[in-house]
A and B are shown apart, each in its own frame.
Chain A
Amino acid sequence: TQLLEQSPQFLSIQEGENLTVYCNSSSVFSSLQWYRQEPGEGPVLLVTVVTGGEVKKLKRLTFQFGDARKDSSLHITAAQPGDTGLYLCAGVNNAGNMLTFGGGTRLMVKP
C-alpha cells in the first residue's frame, strides 16, 4: 500500500498570512491530485500535477510536484477565510490503477 502523509494535520492562521502544506510519500506516483473539501460537502478537485518538478498556479494557490514525484506542496499566499477547509492530496500509483488519498490538512483562516 502506498501511503501519503500530509502535514501539518491542522493549521489555524490569520487572514493575510502565507502557508504551505505538504504531501509526502516514500513511493513514486505517476501523478498527484489536490482536492479541497468544505464542511458538509464532498472534496472538489483543485489541480492535477503530472511531471516531476511541475508547478501549477491557481490564483493565490501554488502547487508543486517534487522532482522525484514522491512529494508535493501547496502554498497559499495571503490566505482568506474562504480558503478554510480540508485539503487532501491523492496520488496515482505507477501502474496507473490506484488512487490513494492522504489524511488531509485541516486549514482554518480567521478574519
Chain B
Amino acid sequence: DARVTQTPRHKVTEMGQEVTMRCQPILGHNTVFWYRQTMMQGLELLAYFRNRAPLDDSGMPKDRFSAEMPDATLATLKIQPSEPRDSAVYFCASGFSLTGELFFGEGSRLTVL
C-alpha cells in the first residue's frame, strides 16, 4: 500500500532550536509539496519540487526555512532557528503533476515552546 511517510509525527522543541522534518514521497511521484496547516490560516503552501528541482518556495519565510530534495526518496524541511509561531502541522504531499491528485502524509505536528 503506497503512502507518503513523514517523520517525526510529533516534535516539541524550544525556541531557537533547529527542526528537521523528513518526507518519503510515493515511489514514482515526481512532484513533492510541503504545506503548513493551522486553525487560523488553514493549509498554506510552503514549497514544491518537480523532479527534485525546487519550483517555488515563495510561501516560506526564507530567513529561517529551507526545503531540499537530496534524492528522489527524500524531501526535507528545515527550520533554523524555530520560533513559537512556527507551531503547526506540516504536511508533505506527492503526486504526478502540479495540479493532479495529491497524496498527503500524516503530518508532523510541531510545537515550539
Residues of A within 8 A of B (CB): 30-31, 33, 35, 40-45, 48, 88, 90, 92, 96-99, 101-104
Contact = CB atoms under 8 A, between A and B. Distances in A.
25 contacts: A35-B102, A40-B106, A40-B107, A41-B104, A41-B106, A41-B107, A42-B4, A42-B91, A42-B93, A42-B107, A43-B43, A44-B104, A45-B102, A48-B101, A88-B43, A90-B102, A92-B99, A97-B98, A97-B99, A98-B98, A98-B99, A99-B98, A101-B42, A101-B43, A103-B42
B105 interface: yes
Contacts of A102: 42
B99 A104 contact: no
Interface of B: 4, 42-43, 45, 91, 93, 98-99, 101-102, 104-107
Given A41-B104, A41-B107, A42-B4, 4 more contacts: A41-B106, A42-B107, A97-B98, A99-B99
A45 B106 contact: no
Nearest to B92: A42
Contacts of A42: 4, 91, 93, 104-107
B91 A104 contact: no
A98 B43 CA distance: 14
Q: Ordered nearest first, which 9 A-B pairs have the shortest CB separation?
A: A42-B104, A92-B99, A103-B42, A101-B43, A45-B101, A99-B99, A43-B104, A42-B91, A97-B98
B43 A104 contact: yes
Nearest to A104: B42
A84 B87 CA distance: 25
Contacts of B106: 40-42
A88 B44 CA distance: 12
B13 to A, nearest CB: 20
Contacts of A92: 99
Contacts of B104: 41-44
B41 to A, nearest CB: 8
A98 B55 CA distance: 11
